[in-house]
Structure formats: C-alpha cells, structure tokens
Amino acid sequence: MSRDCLPPPAPEAPGFPLPEGACDSHTHVFGPFARHPLSGERSYTPPENDGPALLRQLDAMGLARCVIVTASAYGADNHAMLEALALAPDRLRGVAVLSEGVGEADLDAMAQAGVRGVRVNLFRRDGHQVYRNGMGLEALQTLAPRLRARGWHLQAWLHAPDLPELWPSLAACGMPVVIDHMGRMSTARGVDDPGFALLCRLVADGAAWTKISGADRLTVTGPPYGDVDPFAAALIAANPERLVWGSDWPHINYFGGATDRGVPSDANLLRALRRWTDDRVLRRILVDNPGALYGFP
C-alpha cells in the first residue's frame, strides 16, 4: 500500500549569494496528474509538483539551472519530466528511467529534449529493494551501447556498502557513473565504511562522480546536519571536480510520523553546502561541474 507524502515547505532563500549559473542537480516533478498519472505500482504517493512549480522553486532559491530525474513513482514513464524540460530548454536537463524495449526514435527525442543520463535503482537494505520500479542492471547492460553512443551517463541509486559488489558491473557499461546522494548511507556507519571508502577512491581517481546531496537522508542528528560534515569533507578532499549538488526537491518519502523530522528546507541544505565549501569549491560544485556533466550551454 502506497503512503501519501507530505508537501515540500515554501521556498526560502538560503541567505547567501549563489554563484551565477548555479545548478540544482537532483529534483523530481510529479504531474499534472490529469496528464501524467503515477504508476499503479509505487512505494509512495507524492503531491502534485509539476514543471511550473519547480521553476517557481528555482527562482525563489536563486538557482539558474536544474536537473530533473524521473522518480520511481512513474516507473519508466518519462512524460512528466519531458514536459517540464520543454518549459525552459536552456535551463533544464533530464535523467530518464528506461525499459529495455525503448526505441531509437524515443531515445533521440529524449536527447533532443535535454536528457543526458539514465538512472538505475539498485538501492537495497538487508538485501531487499527499498523502492518499487526503476531500471535494473540487466536492462542497463542491454541498453548501454545505445546510451554510450549518445554520450549519456549512468546515475546509480545505491547503498554505499553495496558499492564494492556493484562497481564491476557499473564500470563494465563504459559510461560515466554518478552515485546518488553520497551513497545514501547512514552517518552512523562512519566514514571508514568500506563502501564509502571505495566511493571516495573512485571520486579521487576520476572514475566516478557523486552528488554531494541528501544530507537529510544520511543524518542521524537532523538539521543542520553536522554529522554529515565528515562525509562531505572526505569527498571534497578526494576530488572536488567530480561532485555536483542537488536538493532532492520536492523531498518524497516524508510522511509526518512520530520519528519523522519533517520535510527538509532547501535553504538548510544549501547552507550545509556553504559550510562545507570555500568560494572556489562552491562554484565548481554548483556551476562548473554540472555544466560539464549535463551539457548546459
């Protein structure tokens, strides 16, 4: 049974100037549901937050650019993401979820619309998949030659402790690899966790990118996410040229239960990034790196 997610809070400016061309490299859109209904098989039910709502959020936050990732609640249906991309083609890029049977014409149309990558859902806890839907390794391996030909990258949603097992299969696809949300591990595991240590080495070698994001999902202590600081510091020390940042707006999977801290503030997430970086690294993470990875003009 799918649970209803809480809505995101009203946008709040972070309180410091963002560099010109700053990019939020991880967001989702949902709706309009009249045209783009959610998958019947899904792990959560988000409220409607469509392309125009996303643009209002970016404007309020002072963000010039954005990457929209098709969420698991849509399965392999990318239409909501593609409709949103058409609202601001120079400003927006996309990451799709694909089925093995996708046609060449559809891939060409997605590339023309601004799609630059594909996401696989390999996120498991105790051996069990956390979210329904998504693309797996088998489909990825089938599609990889066609995606490489278009210059796309692979975005992997996984648990860092599983990275040592998964990395050989990801690397064999021959595409740039982007690991979501610093490996989505709890800070309680510590920076010496073998999976996180491997992530740092891959970033240091330039073999992988990661999104230095998801502080609200890694934290044990909550805002202002001080327990995430050592993880961000380790990745920045490894290689700031392979890092991008994303808000994860509109922050699905918050339900308001007794142990739920509430939907995070994007301003707080940006303030954490500011705390982790000097001006040069902040610009690299928000402007230069996403410009290179997603091909912004």
What residues are annotated to the active site? Answer: 248
The residues pairing with 24 across neighbouring beta strands, listed in sequence order, are 66
As a whole number of angstroms, the distance between CA 90 and CA 93 comes to 8
How far does Cα 183 stand from its chain's mean position?
Answer: 11
Q: Hey, how many other C-beta atoms are within 10 angstroms of the C-beta on 265?
A: 19
205: left (phi over 0), alpha (psi -120 to 50) or beta: alpha
What are the beta bridge partners of residue 36? none
Q: 177: exposed, middle or buried (C-beta count within 10 Å: 0-12, 13-18, 19+)?
A: buried
Handedness of CA 162, 121, 8, 259 (dihedral sign): negative
The helix (run of H) or strand (run of E) holding residue 118 is: strand 115-121
Strands 128-129 and 124-125: antiparallel
Residues paired with 68 in a beta bridge: 27, 94
